[in-house]
Structure 1
Amino acid sequence: MAQPFILPRSQPEAQGISSYAITEFINSIEAHNLELHSFMLLRHGHVLAEGWWNPYEANLPHMLFSLSKSFTSTAIGLAVDEGILSLDDQVISFFPDDLPVEVSANLAAMQIRHLLMMGTGNGEDTMGALVQQAEGNWVKGFLSVPVGYTPGTHFLYNTGATYMLSAILQKVSNQTLLEYLEPRLLEPLNIRNATWAVCPRGINTGGFGMNITTEAIANFGQLYLQKGIWNGKRLLSEAWVEEATSKHISNGDSDANDWTQGYGYQFWRSRHNAYRGDGAFGQYCVVLPEQDVVIAITAGLGDMQIVLNEVWDILLPALKSEALAKDEPAAALLQSLLNNLKLDPPQLQLLSVRETAINGREYSLEVNEDKYEKFSIRFEANEATAVFTMSYGDNIFQLGRGAWLPSKIQVSDVENGHNIASRISSSFTWQDDNTLVLVIRYIEMPFYQTIICRFEGEELVLEKTVNVSFGPKETAPIKGKQLNG
């Protein structure tokens, strides 16, 4: 078997950017308290800088959220190249058994291209109708939603539309979206062990749910920058790359907002004639064709615009047309910074006299939305084990004392009847003698949760927050009482 092609590495100066500029970018990111998990900068086909903030690691996949959409678009492009579908195909033509009793003129007019450009004519994101469909038939749920606008005339970011692209592809290829992409895109790009969530009927979700590494994101961006060619071989037609990344519909007119520069086929247009795929909480694949640059980032961010502002304000002006003179001190400083990136666990008060009294004791918890019934924690010299008991099993967290301790947690998925394994890195510290702080990072996702445990006599109050969320970041405090024995 031939060895996979891996992008070459180069010092930044050799590709026309100062190492100091990249150092400034990273320092500015940290000064703004922006939580990046990884960063890769590519230029002229070379990796110039790459780093992962500990406890995140290069070999671990990361949840992409809507960056998945750009991969779904690529699958449609491949299918167009193979002639198994056309962008002019009517959406309803693929699902005659799932149509509503009355098919409106707008629904009948909806084509694959309208799904791609987020111009379906829907007035609201259809995902609610999909997941609430009683039979688990997301296609039927999508087709039941009214189409109030003429397709192609009204932009609406609509994750359900991307799901329909996945469903159509599976219909015409007899393969899931992931199965279809494996030999055509993922294997050639050296994207290994990709996973993708599925709907109740086994169709990949399309608009979200893909998990791959940061380097895989970078390789994908480089393929698009090279107009569909990878390692000297064409994987995707140049015509598709051009069409997918061009503006097909307007989505606003703010000069300062990278989400109002127009939308392509599951790609966002950006300022400075760039384009990108991106996902919630800071998952980016940014392509700057004029500068021959790709930037891949994973993160846990509440504000995604700020990072792009940093790219435009710091990195973009530093990109020069010619190679720069070698600058070994600057390159060494940058490499040292990249090698030592980290997100420190809280280290407030490492010991408490309270530990002996609560060590191994169980607390009964009042009814709560997390369905926790009991809580206990057992301390050792340098770590602790926290157990949250539910009716259908335990969530067990291994935590380092003021340090990250990597482990896996089996999260019970009671609705689907199985456990979900998730890699975590967790720590604990004491805020004061009566207040314990637990931090659990899900290191293949953007999320981490902080659990404050307040002890008073035999009483306990748990307060849980999450760093980023589509909904509330805090849950209601949970009260508990120490059990006898």
Structure 2
Amino acid sequence: MHSLKSIILVVVLFALTVTSCGSEEPLEMVFPMDTWQEMTPEELGINSAKMREALDYLASESGEDGLEEVFIVRNGYVIYKGDSIYKKHNIYSSSKSFTSTVLGILSDQGSLSEETYAKEIDTSMALLYPDVQLKHFSSMTSGYSGKGSTRWDEISEDWSWTPYAIDSALFTPGKEYAYWDEAQMMFGRLLTMHTGKTLKSIFDDNIGKAIGIGDYKWNPEQEVNGIEINNGCTNVMINAEQLARFGHFYLNEGNWNGQQLLSEEWIAKATQNQVFADKVADTDRNNVDGRGCYGYNWWVNGVTPTGKYHMPDAPKSLYYASGLHNNMCFVIPEWNMVFVRRGEDGNPEKGKPFVYNEFFKRMVLAIEK
């Protein structure tokens, strides 16, 4: 049995060790006003040479836009920015994370929840989709499909000219996963129909204005009851600096400089795996598998059916919004970091999960504290 003196000695030595190792006070989280504060990577515990090696790798796997619209923030301080961070264009499917954020706002307000049935909002959904809930839309497990052939010259079965015209289900909700834009578009329509407001106005009034996103567009796809439907799957037109504000908002669990704009509970739900489906649906997009690694319109670094993490060499807390043409917004809580890469130059040939796993594998070596 240890003596009291020996226990006290161990405690004292531990306290001394903690004091000596942690003599530098950690920087408090800051929030941008009109502009962001800047620091060098070294001032925030990052080896700039090794970070440069990681960025050079990413540039080598990217298209012609390279690092032009890259924006990196740690603890709210900018440590890297490309030359075109104020260039505005579509963020494509990264827009989906804005749509699910609107669901989070309405859930916090008690207007509806992820458990709300689609048929409660639109009774025409009752016949073919009686069991579909909003959580199925935001996790890509609804099985919803619209009538009509593709608008993309037979490249894809998805995205007909009539995405809101209800057709037979692809599968039983929750049983399969389909990265299906028509379903996301119907999701946006349902939220618009329920509130009688545009998705953009809901987002702006509750979050966007407060975090300083400012002037941007969210282009519509038709209307319902005289209200424009901001496209639920795409068409948010912003720049890298604005997208970083959105990521920084999520990094701080819905809090912006002391003001809780979205609940921590919703952030936690949205950014953890919500896909427990048995299989990927047999569609022309069955190469996209969100099982174990997709939340409410956020990709998460969860365990896939292979038994491996989605990005095994990246921080396990990482989650991200992902759009066509390599439009990405990564949130890395264990590093207090937001990493944005945008462009209009195509997806990486080796695939985003592979390339970004390799990128963050290199970034790990840059993080010194």
Q: Following superposition of structure 1 onto structure 2, how do residues 393-404 of structure 1 map, counting pairs within 5 Å?
A: none
The structural deviation recorded for 1:231 is 1.7
Residue 213 (structure 2) pairs with residue 168 (structure 1): no
Counterpart secondary structure, 2:341:
strand
For residues 268 and 295 of structure 1, the distance between their equivalents in structure 2, rounded to whole angstroms, comes to: 14
The structural deviation recorded for 1:311 is 2.2
Counterpart secondary structure, 2:179:
coil
The structural deviation recorded for 1:117 is 0.8
The structural deviation recorded for 1:20 is 0.7
The structural deviation recorded for 1:203 is 0.9
**Residue type of the partner of 1:232?**
G
Q: Percent identity?
A: 26
Task: Show the counterpart of 1:193.
Answer: 215
Task: Show the counterpart of 2:340.
Answer: 296
**1:284/1:296 contact within 8 Å kept:** yes
**1:87/1:112 contact within 8 Å kept:** yes
Task: Show the counterpart of 1:247.
Answer: 273
**1:196/1:211 contact within 8 Å kept:** yes
Partner deviation per Cα, 1:310-342 (whole Å, 9 max, x = no partner): 422211221122xxxxxxxxxxxxxxxxxxxxx
In structure 1, which of residues 1, 11, 20 is the aligned counterpart of residue 40 of structure 2?
11
**Residue type of the partner of 2:346?**
L
Task: Show the counterpart of 1:94.
Answer: 121
The structural deviation recorded for 1:76 is 0.7
Task: Show the counterpart of 1:309.
Answer: 357
Q: Following superposition of structure 1 onto structure 2, how do residues 351-370 of structure 1 map, counting pairs within 5 Å?
A: none
Partner deviation per Cα, 1:111-131 (whole Å, 9 max, x = no partner): 011111111034899994764
**Residue type of the partner of 1:12?**
P
Counterpart secondary structure, 2:237:
strand
In structure 1, which of residues 255, 275, 278 is the aligned counterpart of residue 319 of structure 2?
275
For residues 79 and 51 of structure 1, the distance between their equivalents in structure 2, rounded to whole angstroms, comes to: 35
For residues 167 and 289 of structure 2, the distance between their equivalents in structure 1, rounded to whole angstroms, comes to: 29
Task: Show the counterpart of 2:175.
Answer: 153
Residue 103 (structure 2) pairs with residue 76 (structure 1): yes
Q: Following superposition of structure 1 onto structure 2, how do residues 217-236 of structure 1 map, counting pairs within 5 Å?
A: 217-236=243-262
> Structure 1 regions of 5+ residues with no counterpart?
322-485
For residues 36 and 248 of structure 2, the distance between their equivalents in structure 1, rounded to whole angstroms, comes to: 9
Task: Show the counterpart of 1:319.
Answer: 367
The structural deviation recorded for 1:260 is 6.1
**In 2 relative to 1, CA 286–124 (structure 1 residues): closer, same or farther, beyond 3 Å?**
farther
For residues 85 and 159 of structure 1, the distance between their equivalents in structure 2, rounded to whole angstroms, comes to: 22
Q: Following superposition of structure 1 onto structure 2, how do residues 325-344 of structure 1 map, counting pairs within 5 Å?
A: none
For residues 216 and 120 of structure 1, the distance between their equivalents in structure 2, rounded to whole angstroms, comes to: 30
For residues 260 and 172 of structure 1, the distance between their equivalents in structure 2, rounded to whole angstroms, comes to: 29
Q: Which has the larger radius of gyration?
A: 1
Partner deviation per Cα, 1:158-185 (whole Å, 9 max, x = no partner): 2122222221221222211111111212
In structure 1, which of residues 210, 231, 255 is the aligned counterpart of residue 236 of structure 2?
210
**In 2 relative to 1, CA 148–206 (structure 1 residues): closer, same or farther, beyond 3 Å?**
closer
**1:119/1:249 contact within 8 Å kept:** yes
Task: Show the counterpart of 1:29.
Answer: 58
For residues 159 and 61 of structure 2, the distance between their equivalents in structure 1, rounded to whole angstroms, comes to: 38
The structural deviation recorded for 1:259 is 6.0
Task: Show the counterpart of 1:59.
Answer: 86
**1:76/1:165 contact within 8 Å kept:** no
Task: Show the counterpart of 2:77.
Answer: 46
**In 2 relative to 1, CA 65–126 (structure 1 residues): closer, same or farther, beyond 3 Å?**
farther
**1:170/1:176 contact within 8 Å kept:** yes
| Number of positions where the alignment pairs a residue of Structure 1 with one of Structure 2 | 300
The structural deviation recorded for 1:68 is 0.1
Structure with the largest fraction of helix: 2
**2:148/2:161 contact within 8 Å kept:** no
Counterpart secondary structure, 1:296:
strand
Structure with the largest fraction of strand: 1
Task: Show the counterpart of 1:422.
Answer: none
For residues 221 and 314 of structure 1, the distance between their equivalents in structure 2, rounded to whole angstroms, comes to: 21
Counterpart secondary structure, 1:200:
strand
**Residue type of the partner of 2:233?**
G
Structure-1-length-normalised TM-score: 0.57
**In 2 relative to 1, CA 61–249 (structure 1 residues): closer, same or farther, beyond 3 Å?**
same
Counterpart secondary structure, 2:168:
coil
For residues 20 and 239 of structure 1, the distance between their equivalents in structure 2, rounded to whole angstroms, comes to: 38
The structural deviation recorded for 1:204 is 0.9
Higher normalized contact order (CA 8 Å, seq sep 6+, divided by chain length): 2
**Residue type of the partner of 1:46?**
Y
